């Protein structure tokens, strides 16, 4: 497979950089008079990295398109895929008989309506699960906020306040548990040291599977809104 450079940018810089954009374009930045032959050599050298990362982005785009916010389209909730349908008689969004039912009057602004619904569900479900897991692990936190973060699933502040993105509500339940346990463990360790991971493992021996699931499904974070 030959690498196609989508954009070559020459500028006053000292080093060469190769990056893959969110829409899977290969961007190469080089110093002003950098020889073309050298560019070819570097591309050849970085070939496998480019292929690997480009296909990762393409995969993410493909998965992202698996969420389709229209009647008959699919939507993920707690890791399950539901077909979107609409009903004139419904006044609020609900899951019924394997369908995600959207009131007809909300269809025009389905994206906003679903985001609002997920945020509300997140507040209820994530906060409750955090309380349960805090009880189970015996790790206490000082407070919790549900955010709309797209760059991370959760975080834990220096004052032991836990933030969780409502977007997590699309992930499966064990993956949600992993994020919550991860953040709870940050109450004890404010880093990703060996001791931190040992603490995570103590509460969730198979955490690596869920960590990987979240990495493979990171598209959920900016699937919509
Ligand atoms: Zn962390």
Separation of CA 50 and ligand 1 centre (Å):
27
Separation of CA 161 and ligand 1 centre (Å):
13
Q: Specify whether 58 is located in the same domain as 113.
A: no
Q: How many domains does the chain have?
A: 2
**What gap in Å lies between CA 201 and CA 146, rounded to an integer?**
25
**What are the structure tokens assigned to 219, written together?**
């598209």
Residue 199 belongs to domain with CATH number: 3.30.2010.10
Q: Do 177 and 210 meet the contact criterion of CB atoms below 8 Å apart?
A: yes
Q: Specify whether 147 is located in the same domain as 205.
A: yes
pLDDT tens digits, 96-146: 998 999 999 999 999 999 999 999 999 999 999 999 999 999 999 999 999
Separation of CA 216 and ligand 1 centre (Å):
17
Q: Specify whether 34 is located in the same domain as 124.
A: no
Average pLDDT on 139-163 reads: 96
Q: How far is CA 160 from the centre of its chain?
A: 23
Average pLDDT taken over every residue of the chain: 93
For residue 75, tell me if it sits in a domain: no
**What gap in Å lies between CA 136 and CA 154, rounded to an integer?**
19
Residue 31 belongs to what domain range? 7-62
pLDDT tens digits, 31-90: 999 999 999 999 999 999 999 999 888 887 877 777 788 899 889 999 999 999 999 999
Q: Specify whether 217 is located in the same domain as 147.
A: yes
Separation of CA 183 and ligand 1 centre (Å):
6
Strand, helix or coil at 204? coil
Q: Specify whether 188 is located in the same domain as 117.
A: yes
Q: What is the pLDDT of residue 3?
A: 83
Task: List % helix, strand, coil for the chain (3-state, nearest 5).
Answer: 50, 20, 30
**151-161: buried (b, 16+ CB within 10 Å) or exposed (e) per residue?**
eebbbbbeebe
For residue 169, tell me if it sits in a domain: yes
Q: Specify whether 53 is located in the same domain as 113.
A: no
**What gap in Å lies between CA 204 and CA 124, rounded to an integer?**
23
For helices 173-188 and 110-137, what crossing angle results, to 10°? Answer: 50
């Amino acid at each position: 497979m030959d690498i196609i450079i989508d954009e070559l940018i020459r500028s006053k810089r000292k080093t060469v950089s190769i990056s893959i954009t969110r829409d899977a374009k290969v961007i190469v930045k080089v110093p002003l008079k950098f020889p073309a032959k050298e560019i070819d050599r570097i591309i050849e050298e970085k070939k496998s990295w480019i292929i690997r990362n480009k296909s990762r982005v393409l995969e993410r785009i493909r998965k992202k398109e698996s969420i389709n916010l229209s009647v008959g389209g699919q939507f993920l909730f707690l890791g399950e895929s539901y077909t979107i349908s609409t009903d004139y008689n419904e006044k609020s969004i609900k899951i019924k008989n394997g369908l995600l039912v959207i009131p007809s009057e909300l269809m025009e602004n389905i994206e906003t309506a679903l985001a609002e619904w997920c945020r509300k569900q997140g507040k209820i479900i994530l906060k409750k699960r955090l309380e349960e897991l805090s009880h189970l692990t015996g790790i206490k936190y000082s407070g919790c906020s549900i955010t709309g973060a797209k760059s991370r699933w959760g975080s834990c502040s220096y004052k032991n306040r836990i933030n969780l993105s409502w977007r997590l509500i699309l992930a499966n339940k064990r993956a949600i548990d992993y994020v919550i346990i991860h953040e709870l463990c940050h109450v004890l360790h404010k880093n990703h040291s060996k001791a931190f991971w040992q603490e995570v493992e103590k509460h969730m021996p198979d955490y690596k599977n869920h960590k990987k699931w979240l990495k493979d499904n990171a598209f959920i974070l900016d699937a919509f809104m």
